[in-house]
Amino acid sequence: MTATHTPPHIRMSNEIAVQFRNRDPAWAAEQIAAHIHSFWDPRMRARLLADVTADDDRLDPLIVAAAALLPPARANG
Amino acid sequence: MTEVTVYVPRDSAARSVGADQVAERIAAAAGPRARVVRNGSRGLLWLEPLVEVETPAGRVAYGPVTPDDVEDLLDAGLLDGAGHRLCLGPTEEIAWLRDQTRVTFARVGVIDPLSPDDYTAHGGLAGLRRALSLAPEQVVAEVTDSGLRGRGGAGFPAGIKWKTVLGAESDLKFVCCNADEGDSGTFADRMLMEGDPFTLIEGMAIAAWATGASEGYIYIRSEYPDAVATMRAAIDAAYARGWLGKRVLDQDFTFDLFVRVGGGAYICGEETSMLESLEGKRGTVRAKPPIPALEGLFGRPTVVNNVLTLGSVPMIMADGAEAFAGLGVGRSRGTQVFQLGGNIARGGIVETAFGITLGELVEGYGGGTRSGRPVRAVQVGGPLGAYLPTSRFDLPMDYEAFAAAGAMVGHGGVVVFDDTVDMAGQARFAMEFCAAESCGKCTPCRIGAVRGVEVIDRIVAGENRSANLKVLNDLCHLMTEGSLCAMGGLTPMPVRSALTHFPGDFGATSEEERR
Amino acid sequence: MTLIKEQDYGTPARSGEATVSVEIDGKTVLVPEGTSVMRAAAECGIDIPKLCATDNLEPFGSCRLCLVDIDGRKGSPASCTTPVADGMKVRTQTPELAELRRGVMELYISDHPLDCLTCPANGGCELQDMAGVVGLREVRYGFDGENHLDLPTDSTNPYFDFDASKCIACSRCVRACGEVQGTFALTIEGRGFDSKVAAGAGGTFMESECVSCGACVQACPTSTLQERSVVQLGMPTRSVITTCAYCGVGCSFKAELRGDEVVRMVPYKDGKANEGHSCVKGRFAFGYASHPDRQLKPMVRERITDPWREVEWEEAIGYVGSRMLDIQARHGAGAIGGISSSRCTNEEVYVVQKMVRAAFGNNNVDTCARVCHSPTGYGLKQTYGTSAGTQDFKSVDKADVILIIGANPTDAHPVFGSRIKRRLRQGAKLIVADPRKIDLVRSPHIQAEHHLPVRPGTNVALINAMSHVVVTEGLVDREFVEERCEDFAEWERFISAPEHSPEAVESITGIPAAELRAATRLYASARNATIMYGLGVTEHSQGSTMVMGMANLAMATGNIGREGVGVNPLRGQNNVQGSCDMGSFPHELPGYRHVSDEVVRGTFETLWGRVLDPEPGLRIPNMFDAAIDGTFRGLFVQGEDIVQSDPNTQHVTAALSSMELVVVQDLFLNETSKYAHVFLPGTSFLEKNGTFTNAERRINRVRPVMAPRTGKHEWEIVCEIAQAMGYPMKYDDSAQIMDEIAFTTPTFSGVSFAKLDQVGSVQWPCNDAAPEGTPIMHIDGFVRGRGRFVQTDYVPTQERSTRKFPLILTTGRILSQYNVGAQTRRTGNSAWHPEDMLEMHPHDAEVRGIRDGDTVALASRVGETTLRVKIAERMPVGVVYTTFHHPVTGANVVTTENSDWATNCPEYKVTAVQVSLKHPTPAAAVVR
């Protein structure tokens, strides 16, 4: 682990995004949002949403688009 | 000056008594006057090396010729077929040969074994050509009608076996020739392969056509290096002539043929062991069923026939079933290539129709013992065949007649013993042979043969004779009835025949003998 | 409570449709065509004496005891090798036959030691039995003839002896090694009376190719091949039928005991997964259950630096309950969670997820399947609608082409590996896609048609190229696709793109395009083609994509929904399937139903009396991340050594070190318990009462042979923790837990212990629609309705070889050891694999100056470890391989945090590494 390590939720969300890179962006955002909603613990979603709000430039644009489709999440699991 | 053709056999029996040196001496001494052809042996083995000279009046024979005789012979006019103390007159008129009916061996000793032209000039390929003009079913029918039975020993009708293979559904079928000629006193397979290999190739090609096979194997024992070399050379020549491979004789028929060399086990002469060995495994007997005709080599339908069986097929196809079936007696049709050996004055090949008596073979052709002493016993059919006393010389050579006498024709080997033979020792040897050569798979053969030797030793030593005779008898019964294959099943045959015909050799009292 | 002896019919059953009628000793019996006379007789209750025949081997005909009399047949044919014919009349008992049989037996005994009373097989010896049956009274040959009584005993195998003096040369061992196991390590050497069993080329068993599967020992009718435990302890007196707790094959065994002591484990013939076969682990490696290392009492400590303190159960459970509640009070309901184990029974797993959901009040439950087959669950659910393999094992007997991807069955699933080998020997064709030349690529009597040495991490490119060939070469099963699938047209367009062609991906996968095309044609044009895969598929950053890619390929070629086809995960552990079925995933309730489904949640809420969280919980790697973040502080770990088995060890230990309470429930103290505050002793499979579900969805019973040595069943411990946390959770026995599973989970509704005890085993779904279970899925349609084609882009892993880390490390399992080795290392199995070795291609070794046996440093960007090198031609250049069975190796010190995009299954199979020479010292110095 290096000090400059990417936070796990950013790394994981970007890994999801890259799988959908060649799909229609609107469809992809929908799929990604559904995936994250289905599989992610709310506290991870909350962090992601927070980073999106904070315009973290490490986030894939598809994730930013998907985040807009996610319901708000409670921060503490 | 015209070149005279001189024949000096290349057969390994002839070579073993100096044929190579004789051939070299003739070539060296006669120079351009003579063309030396290395033919097969005519089968008069006591006369080997038998040298023949081609004369305008036919071939004239001389023998047995030693290398030291060569100069003298040439001086005497060998190349003109002149008289000499070794001159036997015209070959075809030697009574021993003249009286035979050479069918399978018709070309052996006559032609250059590796000359395809010689082969076709002497009627070769006529059988295959005719077969290819017929449907496979018709060929099978012809072979069935000829009455040809397996010459390896079992005497199973070849046509029926072929019909089974023909009827079996498979994208790959095989023809396997059993040339693991391991029986004592037999050498006909070897002599055919060394003397007329194309006949075997032709016979196998016919079998392949008749059964829908596309691949063949000749399984030759390692003790036959000359036969292996000759067969391989002949196969190469046959490929070169288009007699093998794709489009055999320009017909829509593919047949590939290979030679495989055995590893030195007698049991690999048993057909299923041979198949195991061909597959690269230990030579052990397979239980039947399944029969090889349905599940043989690599599990595919397979014709397994002996050299002589397959070697008889070209003639049957060339001359028609009737010609062959017209020879012989009872259900034993055609000719058999008998081999005379052991303590015999005139050993060699006697091909003649079934039905000749044992006495005619041994006393007539064979001329009694080589030692000059009276014949005491004859073993027919290899090491597992019965010992017969001279009182049974009336037996006709016929599968059924022999079976009824508790004996077997087998592969046609006849081994002669004079009156010095110890028949208890011969009986013991039968068990010893079985113990040494058993594949070890089934219990009666694996353990029984060893116990058989021990029991015979006890009998001969006079230990609990009557009890041990009962044990031996029970053991013989068990081996006969219980063994997996003919190896264990037939081992009691020489033992029992020795006991029956020569009880005195086992230390029997006169009272026991009378019983 | 007696010793179970399955009936031996002498020869295998035949499956021909035609039946023939045969009369045996006056009884008429109808049997399938091809059945032997011996078997037909056995089926009507007539036992014909036999020694060389046994019904898992083809008839051989060597002993000659089974001779019979048949009307119209010459002589006395052997009943084992003679098939019945219609109308045949057979007599099995005549004075003549009796004499022949006595004669055979007399020969046998003339070459056999006369030590029956002191022989370990006394009472369990077929030779002895047959001597009695045939009425042998004397051996007239005496005992001083030639014999084999002086032949030596080979005791080199850790588990069994080979006493050649007792051998009757029936070849059953040799045939079992070939026909059943498919190893061909044994042969008969010599001829005639000298014939004797030999291992390999005449050396010892241990020097030979023997894999110690035990088939030969089981086949031996005498005491020639005998378990040493029988020699030492004596013949067992009772049997309990149970299920092996090693791999996902789920073999049925008879545990054979004297009192409570297990004498031996014998594979159970009626076990549907193994049909009487076994491997070295299940057959012999059970000694760990009684190993002195077993911790049998609970232990507690305040800090992980404190020494352990043994306590009573009450204190330990009370401590766990109060600390968990305390953490929740301070950090919220979601601050604790649990991990269930695929080593445990369905019932034990079910109660863990119930404890987490109902007592902890969250969904922070995950299972070790996370790190092995979670992509299988995801991928097959997305495409087919069920998170499970499509076939039963038996199905492979009908396959014409077998495609194995990223699996090594002969090592990791040996009993199924033997079944595959048997099918291949019958003529099925094999395609292997694996970086290594695994044994199946070429072994005795087997050779793969195609070995596709796929570069680690490029599976998706491979499978896409195969589908590309199918689509562009007209190999699609249009009828199947149109009738049964959806989204095909879009997928066809996607996959037809030139970027997916074999030629285009050749430089990515390293597989020659022509070879890939040929392999694809073979697969696609087979009558029945099946895919088998393992962790070489799932443990990748694109594991889920690959599973869907394979599902696409099978659908496009119509290879779904009948015998001989399908997509089949080879599950790593005994109950991976079951632990997933039981709702161990944080997003799914039992039966793979999402926690957000209100109807499903309602069922459980009503039954459990608690409101359930509708949001998914933390997955294992998320737990570690959350622990480091401080939002996750209490963890219950059931039977899994996460420190040794999970990737990136430093990250795992950092997470555990930052937690307030780590509870480990296990057989042994392990790497994880070093970070634990409470140790709760678990039970071995010999003490468990429950069920395991194997890779073919088969629910097998696990029956206890003894009471829990710890005094408590594992499910009881979990229930008591829940109670200590104020949640009433109580069962009278584990059968009640299964009843609850059946009540709540539609795919299990027909399952109960009573049913399993009655029918042996069932494959789920087992319910009103399929009361006898479901061997093959998707027969009339996909579970999800239509099979869905999913577009599977190839996205390379971020783990790349670099100048600093130029090699790719991939990991796997070896036959004799099992996963983290907690069990197998505590058995004689270490004789075969005393340490993990790094396999390396000669070229890669040469350029680094490394020779066979040298000790090397293995480093990745996250860590470094030390191990010895084995130079191996079967490795491709640029790829190294190791196992992770020994903690000292620390293979996971070097593996990274990369994981499958959909499931977070770690990417164990791809790590960029460097290898450098450390000591050129030979073996002796290495720590065992």
Model ipTM?
0.94
SS3 (DSSP) at C829: helix
Q: List strand residue ranges (DSSP E) for A10-59, in order.
A: none
Burial of A71 (C-beta count, 10 Å sphere; 0-12/13-18/19+): exposed
Report if residue C238 sits inside a domain.
yes
Pair B194, B134 in one domain: yes
CATH number at residue C552: 3.40.228.10
* Mean pLDDT of all residues in C632-649: 93
Which DSSP state fits C116? G
Residue A8: list chain C partners with CB under 8 A: 621-622, 625, 897
Q: Is C846 left (phi over 0), alpha (psi -120 to 50) or beta?
A: alpha
B174 falls within a domain: yes
Give the CATH number for residue B398: 3.10.20.600
pLDDT (tens digit, 9 = 90+) per residue, C22-69? Answer: 999 999 999 999 999 999 999 999 999 999 999 999 999 999 999 999
User: Smallest Cα–Cα separation from B323: which of B204, B146, B182?
Assistant: B146
Spell out the domain ranges in chain A: 3-67
Q: Is A27 exposed, middle or buried (0-12, 13-18, 19+ CB in 10 A)?
A: exposed
Q: In sequence order, which ranges of B86-133 are alpha helices (DSSP H)?
A: 95-98, 116-121, 126-133
Question: What residues form DSSP beta bridges with C153?
Answer: C163
* Dist CA C278 CA C110 (whole Å): 34
Q: What is the span of the domain harbouring residue C465?
A: 400-567
Q: How far is C753 from chain A (nearest CA, A)?
A: 33
- What was the pLDDT predicted at C927? 42
> Which positions in chain C touch A18 (Cβ < 8 Å)?
795, 901
Output phi, psi for B52, to 5 deg: -120, 145
Do residues C822 and C868 share a domain?
A: yes
User: Which has the closest alpha carbon to B205: B124, B100, B260?
Assistant: B124
Give residue-wise pLDDT tens across range B420-453. 999 999 999 999 999 999 999 999 999 999 999 9
Let me know whether C419 and C448 are in one domain: yes
Q: Are residues C282 and C318 in the same domain?
A: no
CB of C34 within 8 A of CB of C86? Answer: no
Give the model confidence (pLDDT) of B108-121 as tens digits.
999 999 999 999 99
Structure tokens at C306: 């404190």
In a domain, B480, yes or no: yes
Query: In this structure, which amino acid lies at residue C778?
Result: H
Same domain, B361 and B455: no
Handedness of CA C450, C451, C453, C456 (dihedral sign): positive
The count of other CB atoms within 10 Å of the CB of residue C426 is 10
Q: Are residues C308 and C284 in the same domain?
A: no
> Using CB atoms, which residue from B444, B451, B481 is nearest to C141?
B451
Residues C593 and C733 in one domain: yes
* Assigned domain for C13 exists: no
Residue-wise pLDDT for C814-873, tens only, equals 889 888 888 999 999 999 989 999 999 999 999 999 999 999 999 999 999 999 999 999
Mean pLDDT of chain C: 95
Q: Which residue has the tokens 């030291």?
A: B68
> How far away is chain B from the Cα of C38, in angstroms, using its nearest Cα?
14
Chains in contact with A, where contact requires at least 3 CB pairs less than 8 Å apart: C
* Domain end (from B65, B98, B131): B98
Integer angstrom CA distances of residue C364 from B297, C339, C340, C449, C741: 63, 8, 11, 46, 20
C78–B447 C-beta distance less than 8 A: no
Q: Cis (ω within 30 of 0) for the bond into B49?
A: yes
DSSP line for B295-308? S-GGGS-EEEEEHH
Q: Which amino acid is at C223?
A: S
Type of residue found at B144: T
CATH number of the domain that residue B496 is part of: 1.20.1440.230
Q: What is the pTM of this model?
A: 0.93
pLDDT at residue C260, rounded to an integer = 87
How many interface pairs between B and C have CB atoms less than 8 angstroms apart? 109
CB neighbour burial string for C660-697, b if at least 16 within 10 angstroms, e if fewer: bbbbbbbbbbbbbbebbbbbbbbbbbbbbbbbbbbbbb
A in contact with B (at least 3 C-beta pairs within 8 A): no
Residues 336-365 of B with CB under 8 A from C: none
Does any CB of chain B come closer than 8 Å to the CB of residue C195?
yes
Give dist(CA B432, CA B304) in Å, integer.
28
In chain B, residues with a C-beta closer than 8 Å to the C-beta of C141 are 451, 454-455, 471
For residues B253 and B332, state if they share a domain: no
Query: Is residue A74 over pLDDT 80?
Result: no
Is position C194 within any domain?
yes
Q: Are residues B362 and B434 in the same domain?
A: no
Of C60, C63, C104, the CB nearest to B478: C104
Does residue B263 fall inside a structural domain? yes
Q: Hey, are the CB atoms on C903 and A39 less than 8 Å from each other?
A: yes
pLDDT tens per residue, range C468-490? 999 999 999 999 999 999 999 99
CB of C906 within 8 Å of any CB in chain A? no
Cα C372–Cα C550–Cα C566 angle in degrees, nearest 5: 95
Asked whether residue B133 falls in the same domain as residue B230, the answer is: yes
φ and ψ at B78, to 5 degrees? -50, -45
The answer to whether A38 faces chain C, any CB pair under 8 Å, is yes
Confidence of residue B401 (pLDDT cuts 50, 70, 90): very high
Task: Establish, for the pair of chains A and C, how many residue pairs have beta carbons separated by less than 8 Å.
Answer: 80
Domain boundary among B384, B403, B418: B418
Domain extent for B332: 328-418
- Give the best residue of A2, A5, A16, A19 to mutate against chain C (max C CB count within 10 A): A19
- The confidence score (pLDDT) of residue C431 equals 98
Put simply, the answer to whether C650 touches A22 (Cβ < 8 Å) is: no
Helices B448-460 and B465-482 pack at an angle, to 10 degrees, of 160
Which of B287, B438, B477 has its CB closest to that of C60?
A: B287
Element (H, E) at B62: strand B58-62
Identify whether the C-beta of residue C903 lies closer than 8 Å to the C-beta of residue C374. yes
Percent of chain B's residues with pLDDT above 70:
98
Residue-wise pLDDT for B211-221, tens only, equals 999 999 999 99
Any C CB within 8 A of B461 CB: no
Are B471 and C141 inside 8 Å of each other by CB?
Answer: yes
Of residues C60, C99, C110, nearest to B451 (C-beta): C110
Q: What CATH number corresponds to the domain at position B318? A: 3.40.50.11540
Residue of C nearest to B442 (CA): C62
**Taking chain A, what is the end-to-end CA distance rounded to the nearest angstrom?**
25
- Asked if residue B151 lies in contact with residue B279, where contact means CB atoms within 8 angstroms, the answer is no
Is A15 within 8 Å of C541 when comparing Cβ atoms? yes
Q: Do C151 and C283 lie in a common domain?
A: yes
Give the side-chain half-sphere CA count within 13 A for C546. Answer: 37
| Domain end position, chosen among B325, B341, B376 | B325
Phi/psi-derived region of residue B441, left when phi > 0, alpha when psi is between -120 and 50, beta in every other case: alpha
Q: Do B477 and C141 touch (CB under 8 A)?
A: no
**Does B451 contact C145 at a Cβ distance shorter than 8 Å?**
yes
Spell out which residues of chain C touch residue B465, defining contact as CB-CB under 8 Å. none
Residues of B in contact with C192 (CB under 8 A): 434-440, 445-446, 449-450
Choose one of C89, C122, C155: the last residue of a domain: C122
- SS3 category, C312: coil
**pLDDT tens sequence across B133-178:** 999 999 999 999 999 999 988 899 999 999 999 999 999 999 999 9
Please give the pLDDT value at position B283.
92
Query: Looking at the complex, does the CB of residue C164 fall below 8 Å from at least one CB of chain A?
Result: no
**Residue C902 at interface with chain A, using a CB cutoff of 8 Å:** yes
Kindly state whether residues B313 and B186 are assigned to the same domain: yes
Q: Are the C-beta atoms of C656 and C370 separated by less than 8 Å?
A: no
Do A1 and C651 make contact, defined as CB atoms within 8 angstroms? yes
pLDDT bracket for residue B514 (50, 70, 90): very low
**Which residue in B348, B257, B335 sits closest to B42, CA to CA?**
B348
Same-domain check for residues B82 and B210: no
Query: Element (H or E) spanning C403, and its range?
Result: strand C401-405
What residue of C is the nearest CA neighbor of A72?
A: C615
Residue C540 clears pLDDT 80, i.e. is over it: yes
Q: Are residues C424 and C542 in the same domain?
A: yes
Strand C401-405 vs strand C429-433: parallel, antiparallel, or unpaired?
Answer: parallel
3-state helix/strand/coil string of C642-683: HHHHCCCHHHHHHHHHCCCEEEEEECCCCCHHHHCCEEEECC
User: Rounded to an integer, what distance in angstroms lies between the CA atom of residue C594 and that of residue C598?
Assistant: 9
Considering its fold, how many domains does chain C have in total? 5
Residue C56's closest CA among C176, C147, C231? Answer: C176
- pLDDT (mean) for B79-103: 96
Instruction: Give the pLDDT confidence score for residue A77 in this predicted structure.
Output: 46
Same domain, B156 and B302: yes
Domain end, chosen from C532, C567, C602, is at C567
Q: Token pair for residue C551?
A: 């599902």
Residue C362 and residue C405 in one domain: no
pLDDT value for B509: 58
Contacts of residue C756, Cβ cutoff 8 Å, sequence gap at least 6: C691, C699, C700, C701, C762
Residue C910 pLDDT > 60: yes
How far apart CA B296 and CA C725 sit, in angstroms, is 73
**Of C122, C156, C174, which residue sits at a domain end?**
C122
Q: Is the peptide bond before B64 cis (omega within 30 degrees of 0)?
A: yes
Q: Is residue C777 part of a domain?
A: no
Are C616 and A12 a contacting pair at CB < 8 A?
no
**C668 and C641 fall within a common domain:** yes
Same domain, B454 and B505: yes
Question: pLDDT tens digits, residue range C373-409?
Answer: 999 999 999 999 999 999 999 999 999 999 999 999 9
CA–CA distance, B46 with C705 (Å, rounded to integer)? 81
Residues of A in contact with C334 (CB under 8 A): 41-43, 76-77
Q: If pLDDT is split at 50, 70 and 90, which confidence band does C922 have? A: low
Name the one residue in this structure whose structure tokens are 């003919």.
B486
CA distance C318 to C721: 7
Confidence category of residue C16, pLDDT binned at 50, 70, 90: confident
Q: What is the pLDDT of residues A11-58, one digit of tens each?
A: 999 999 999 999 999 999 999 999 999 999 999 999 999 999 998 899
Cβ–Cβ gap A41/C617 under 8 Å: yes
Most C CBs within 10 A among A11, A39, A60, hence the mutation to make, goes to A39
Same domain, B390 and B447: no
B437–C192 C-beta distance less than 8 A:
yes
How many H-runs (helices) and E-runs (strands) does chain A carry? 4, 0
- Is the CB of residue A10 less than 8 Å away from at least one CB of chain C? no
Query: What does residue C316 show for φ and ψ, rounded to 5 degrees?
Result: -60, -45
